[in-house]
Chains A and B, each alone.
Chain A
Amino acid sequence: MASTTPAPAVATARDAELFLSVEDLKVHFPTEDGLVKSVDGLSFELRRGEILGIVGESGSGKSVTAQAILGLHKGSRARISGHIWLDGRDLVPLSDEEMRGVRGSEIAMIFQDPLSSLHPFYTIGDQIAEAYRVHNKVSAREARARTIEMLEKVGIPNAPGRVDDYPHQFSGGMRQRAMIAMALICQPKLLIADEPTTALDVTVQAQILELIKDLRDELNSAVILITHDLGVVAETCDHVVVMYGGQCVEKGSVDDVFELPEMPYTWGLLGSMPRMDRVRQERLTPIPGQPPSLINVPTGCVFNTRCRFSDHVEGRRCFTEHPQLLPTAPGHEVRCHIEPEERRRLFELEIKPKL
């Protein structure tokens, strides 16, 4: 295709600096109603010290991707194909047992709802220390000391006094901090945060995002931040993957994607959120319709049922031919049949003035 980017260069780049590389990941769930294609051919790369944002609506496959990287589908009926290269090792063929050694020590996850992901019967301290002792041969005393140190690091006031509290004695923001302490206690190289701030107030959200950025700087970890809030992406991430219907429809650096988004779905997402920094619009412009069924994914482009711009493509290619994810600028890829010049023209003329 593009003869200017020789394949060997890509390969060495991967070996040298790419830390996580997801290649053509597919996660399909067989159900009574049919095959649910939750993730269908997703690829992205991540370097150490980078934060990658994955955005999309409910059901776009964001969380399933995270679960697949963590190997949480092993032993279930899910059909997984593709590669997940973590530091040169493919995680997809690993057994559940092997994966257990990777989880917690190399990859850690922060879940959306800290109340349901903490056990109500055990103290915060016991739960965090357990995560540490599973992967490290240390005494209970050492684990406790390390736990208190971590709680202090994530900003729990009076950590030695709060370490024996139960989850219900913590506020929502403190629970999420405790979850982060648990995730980071083994100094993972990859941290996956699945909607870490969705259940929190904006003030607490700002604190938690600040904390994630600080820890990234300190540990030089790679971070995947899954969210539906484009504001959070703009504030926190270096790169962004926009997902729709189990596929990546646009990806690139945050600066590029927010400066010149080219996929009509990204336009729709940006246009449907009211913005405080712009002149107030009389009406919001929602994306019409509902997200597609993942069992009967539309033929052609996944977004064709809700796209206002399919008449900018000759013939009915949007409905017959599945568009490829193609580079439009260095590091910026878009899955859309509309010609790149036309997309940029449409964005400048029709979309940007209404944002």
Chain B
Amino acid sequence: MTTTSAAPGAATPPAGAPLLEVRDVRKHFPGRSAGLFGRRGNPVKAVDGVSFALHQGETLGLVGESGCGKSTTGRVIAKLIEPTSGSIRFQGKEIADLSTGQMRPLRREVQMIFQDPYSSLNPRHTIGTIVGSPFRIQGAHPEGGIKKAVQGLMERVGLNPEHYNRYPHEFSGGQRQRIGIARALALRPQLIVCDEPVSALDVSVQAQVVNLLEDLQNEFGLAYVFIAHDLSVVRHISDRVAVMYLGKIMEITDRDTLYEAPMHPYTHALLSAVPIPDPTVEARRERILLTGDLPSPSNPPSGCVFHTRCPKYRDQLSDGERERCRTEEPVLEDKRPGQSVYCHFAEVRSDIIDGEAPAPRSTGIREVIRKTAAGAPGTGIE
């Protein structure tokens, strides 16, 4: 750990040690056996070698299609499931192999907000019980008693404290998500893993919850791992973004670079697929359609895992280059300073979102690429 370089995608690492450092984490689920006494099938490689670092007060967005392993990654970080291998260091302490009992004190520091505000709240418990349960489980005695603390939390997240004795079904979807947020906040954690927290909400309510999450981050210095498939929301809330595909990170970099100068063909396809609420922009954009379905994570393609669906592989590469994609797996490495990409033939495109490239900037970027491509890759950061 002492001699390794900085975490991938960290352009200018903020001062101080990272709050969370994830290295080469894997989660393989045992494959289903064929028949009663059949041999075990191949393991499902839900997460297959994910590394990143997260600093205090920072938000890392995790995006990708369903089945790419983003939710499993979130659950492994929160230690709701055990990683198969790899290292998770939280505040410098290795937590990957801690038992449930050993983890318990750390649960105050790492909390989770779930996607579905309907199934993540026990319908037979009142809001007071739900939001107060972290105090009881951890044996915490907040000043003024649990009830006062819970009502303070409810007020903070925009719920009426008088609704302390109501049940989840009496609240709307947005209000329930606020209840989930209040519960996650109760013990003043350092890190909250948010798994699709606004996906089930209407846009107007979604904006309320996103604003609340940002306010709470500023107030308490929270770090978020923000898992979502909505790339517009991720751009709004994240400082850095990791794009995942088949259990691996395809590209990780800071927010502005990812959206303005993405390099991985998969990032290009994802961004181009997001419809933009402006018919004139829509008319001039290119839509990069991915063909076929996600390959099975128990039997991923050889070489680059994305090559079976890669538009660049299909349309632009020579046979020799394709051979390389099929046989040699790329590594996630810095192609430009602070922009790590898992691709042999990564190239900046800045026309994905708007349909036309901002002219002076794009030439500059292309020059940078040629230079970095000419020099030894991976030397971009110190």
Contact = CB atoms under 8 A, between A and B. Distances in A.
Q: Do A and B come from one complex?
A: yes
Interface of A: 57-58, 157, 171-174, 201-207, 209-210, 228-236, 254-255, 258-259, 268-270, 272-277, 280-281, 283-287, 290
A287 B204 contact: yes
B98 interface: no
A270 B277 contact: yes
Residue among B204, B208, B289 having the largest count of chain A Cβ atoms under 10 Å: B204
Given A258-B278, A276-B271, A290 B289 contact: no
Interface stretch (B111-119, B139-147, B229-237, B298-306): B229-237
A230 B203 CA distance: 10
A58 B174 CA distance: 12
Nearest to A240: B279
Contacts of B208: 286
Residue among A174, A203, A209, A210 having the largest count of chain B Cβ atoms under 10 Å: A203
B207 A231 contact: no
A234 B270 contact: no
B217 to A, nearest CB: 12
B273 A203 contact: yes
A172 B279 CA distance: 28
Given A231-B274, A284-B210, A203 B290 contact: yes
A205 B211 contact: no
Contacts of B269: 203
B353 A277 contact: yes
A99 B231 CA distance: 42
A258 B202 contact: no
Contacts of B289: 203, 206-207, 210
23 contacts: A57-B202, A58-B202, A174-B293, A201-B65, A201-B66, A202-B231, A202-B273, A207-B289, A228-B203, A230-B203, A231-B275, A234-B275, A255-B279, A270-B277, A273-B203, A274-B210, A275-B276, A276-B232, A276-B274, A283-B211, A285-B207, A287-B204, A287-B207
B66 A206 contact: no
B279 A276 contact: no
Contact of A230 (B172, B210, B273, B277): B277
B275 A229 contact: yes
Given A172-B66, A173-B293, A206-B289, A231 B277 contact: yes
Contacts of A273: 203, 206-207, 232, 277
Interface in B163-206: 172-174, 202-206
Contacts of A274: 207, 210, 232-233, 235-236
Nearest to A273: B203
A258 B277 contact: yes
A281 B293 CA distance: 35
A235 B275 contact: yes
Contacts, number: 128
Contacts of A277: 276, 278, 281, 353-354
Nearest to A58: B202
B203 A269 contact: yes
A231 B276 contact: yes
Residue among A58, A201, A210, A231 having the largest count of chain B Cβ atoms under 10 Å: A201
B344 interface: no
B293 A171 contact: yes
Nearest to A170: B293
Given A206-B289, A210-B287, A287-B204, A258 B279 contact: yes
A268 B206 CA distance: 12
A254 B275 CA distance: 14
Contacts of A286: 204-208, 211
B292 interface: yes
A210 B275 CA distance: 12
Contacts of A258: 277-279
Contact of A206 (B231, B236, B273): B273
B282 interface: yes
Contacts of B279: 234-235, 254-255, 258-259
Nearest to B234: A274
A284 B271 CA distance: 20
Contacts of A232: 275
A229 B231 CA distance: 13
Nearest to A274: B236
Given A206-B289, A234-B276, A234-B279, 6 more contacts: A203-B289, A235-B282, A258-B279, A272-B207, A280-B236, A286-B204
Given A201-B66, A235-B282, A285-B207, A228 B202 contact: yes
Residue among A231, A236, A254, A268 having the largest count of chain B Cβ atoms under 10 Å: A231
A168 to B, nearest CB: 13
Contacts of B293: 171, 173-174
B270 to A, nearest CB: 6
Contacts of A173: 293
Contacts of B354: 277
A268 to B, nearest CB: 6
Contacts of A229: 275
Nearest to A284: B207
Residue among B203, B206, B280 having the largest count of chain A Cβ atoms under 10 Å: B203
Nearest to A255: B279
A272 B278 contact: no
Contacts of B224: none
Contacts of B272: 206
B259 interface: yes
A275 B172 contact: no
B95 interface: no
B147 to A, nearest CB: 26
Nearest to B237: A274
Contacts of B204: 57, 268-269, 272, 286-287
B301 to A, nearest CB: 16
A66 B270 CA distance: 31
Contacts of A276: 231-232, 235, 259, 271, 274, 276, 353
Nearest to B205: A286
Interface string B335-356: 0000000000000000001100
Contact of B229 (A202, A207, A269, A281): A202
B214 interface: yes
Given A201-B65, A230-B277, A280-B235, A272 B206 contact: yes
B158 to A, nearest CB: 11
A231 B273 CA distance: 10
Nearest to A238: B279
